[in-house]
């Protein structure tokens, strides 16, 4: 059975994609800790980060760094944070989010009731910054598509 993230990647469930390449995607979470919070997810179903091969992990980290740099610019954040947990969905994913302090880096701060317009606006802001940073080739043409 496909994971929730595979179903999002395959377009069965809507997603707000900011990045796509042949190995991974990044899409906005529906419960962001801060505006611009995205998940970097491999296309390959890997249950835990400790199960992933080193090449895949290196690629995910490279993409997380690019996304994090764009988040810092787009949201005027002093840092980009990286969280790896993986308890809710058994499909490796890296949480990358603009951060202003360690105290906010808790899933207890996730906002579950944001309107779609606010989630869309944050994703579009990040997509624009990724394009401005020279990564337009990896920004899907449409917000809701993981297509290259």
Catalytic site positions:
93
Sign (positive/negative) of CA torsion 37, 43, 49, 52? negative
Task: Report residue 28 CA to chain centroid gap.
Answer: 5
- Structure token pair of residue 29: 């979470």
Q: Which of 137, 47, 126, 148 is nearest to 93 (CA)?
A: 47
Measured distance CA(102)–CA(146) in Å, rounded: 31
Q: Report the SS3 class of residue 59.
A: helix
The burial class, CB within 10 Å (0-12 / 13-18 / 19+), for 95 is buried
């Amino acid at each position: 059975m496909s994971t929730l993230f595979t179903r999002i990647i395959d377009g069965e469930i809507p997603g707000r994609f900011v990045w796509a390449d042949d190995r991974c995607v990044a899409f906005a979470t529906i419960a962001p800790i801060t505006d611009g919070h995205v998940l970097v997810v491999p296309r390959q179903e890997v249950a835990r980060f400790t199960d992933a091969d080193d090449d895949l992990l290196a690629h995910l980290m490279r993409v997380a760094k690019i996304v994090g740099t764009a988040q810092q610019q787009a949201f005027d954040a002093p840092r980009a944070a990286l969280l790896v947990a993986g308890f809710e969905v058994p499909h490796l994913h890296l949480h990358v989010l603009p951060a202003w302090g360690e105290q906010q880096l808790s899933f207890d701060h996730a906002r579950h009731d944001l309107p779609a317009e606010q989630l869309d606006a944050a994703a579009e802001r990040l997509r624009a910054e990724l394009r401005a940073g020279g990564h337009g080739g990896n920004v899907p043409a449409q917000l809701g598509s993981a297509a290259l």
